[in-house]
Copies of this chain bind each other. A is one copy, B any other.
Amino acid sequence: MRPSGRAIDALRPVFIQPGFARHAEGSALIRMGGTEVLCAATVETRVPSFLRGKGQGWVTAEYGMLPRATHSRGQREAAKGKQTGRTQEIQRLIARALRAVVDLKALGEISVTVDCDVLNADGGTRCAAITGAWVALRLALEKLVRAGTLPALPIKGQVAAISCGLTDDGPVLDLDYREDSAASADANFVLTADGGIVEIQGTAEKDPFTEAQFNTLMRLARTGTAELFRIQTAIVEEALKA
List chain A positions with a Cβ less than 8 A from chain B.
Answer: 20-24, 27, 34, 38, 40, 42, 44, 62, 64, 66-73, 76-89, 91-92, 96, 100, 113, 115, 117, 119-122, 157, 187, 191-192, 194-204, 206-211, 214, 218
Contacts and interface: CB of A to CB of B under 8 A. Distances in A.
Chain A interface secondary structure, helix, strand, loop or mixed? Answer: mixed
A22 B38 contact: no
B82 A64 contact: no
A194 B207 CA distance: 12
Contact of A208 (B23, B68, B157): B157
Contacts of A100: 204, 206-208
A23 B24 CA distance: 27
Contacts of A201: 200-202
Contacts of A203: 96, 198-199
A157 to B, nearest CB: 7
Given A64-B78, A85-B91, A211-B218, 8 more contacts: A23-B68, A23-B71, A40-B66, A62-B79, A78-B80, A81-B81, A100-B206, A196-B204
Given A76-B64, A115-B67, A85 B88 contact: yes
A50 to B, nearest CB: 12
Contacts of A113: 67, 73
- List the 10 closest pairs (A to B, CB-CB), nearest first: A196-B208, A85-B88, A77-B78, A40-B68, A200-B202, A42-B73, A78-B78, A24-B68, A89-B89, A67-B115
A207 B197 CA distance: 9
Given A197-B214, A200-B202, A21 B207 contact: no
A23 B40 CA distance: 23
Contacts of A72: 23, 42
A224 to B, nearest CB: 16
Contacts of A73: 42, 44, 113, 115
A225 B240 CA distance: 40
